[in-house]
Amino acid sequence: MLDEYTKTQTTFDEYAAEVQTGHLRWSPPHKNPTFWKDNARRIVEEANGALPKKLAEILSKSWDNDKQVLAIACSDVGHLVKEVPERRGQLERLGLKTRVMELMVDQDESVRWESLHAVGEWLRYTFEG
């Protein structure tokens, strides 16, 4: 049990540290569905939403020399919407939905793909009862 707590804590801490640097890479948490199921609520709620605010800051830049950062941030936003749909309003107030929608027409294919996926998560909850 302690090992599981340590593993979860470390993974969350590693993710949080990476986001705080502002320079995202496809590290394991970004693509791990279990990570998002276990940590999405914490990401949205901890420290008054500091990590989503940082994602908004990351997404506000063009990243012309490293479009991968935008793709990863869009992916993360999509995971947050999927796992904590009741907090969509909080994410929208940060400008995340608007920015992700803008990125649907980005020149970079991976940015377009991840932004479309994230917008799809928003739409899923818009049309579900």
Write down the pLDDT at residue 126. Answer: 72
State pLDDT tens for residues 69-83. Answer: 999 999 999 999 999
* The model scores a pTM over 0.85: yes
C-alpha closest to that of 30 among 86, 70, 67, 64: 70
Q: Are 2 and 10 in contact (CB under 8 A)?
A: no
* pLDDT digit string, tens, across residues 80-104: 999 999 999 999 999 999 999 999 9
Domains and CATH numbers, the chain: 2-127 (1.25.40.150)
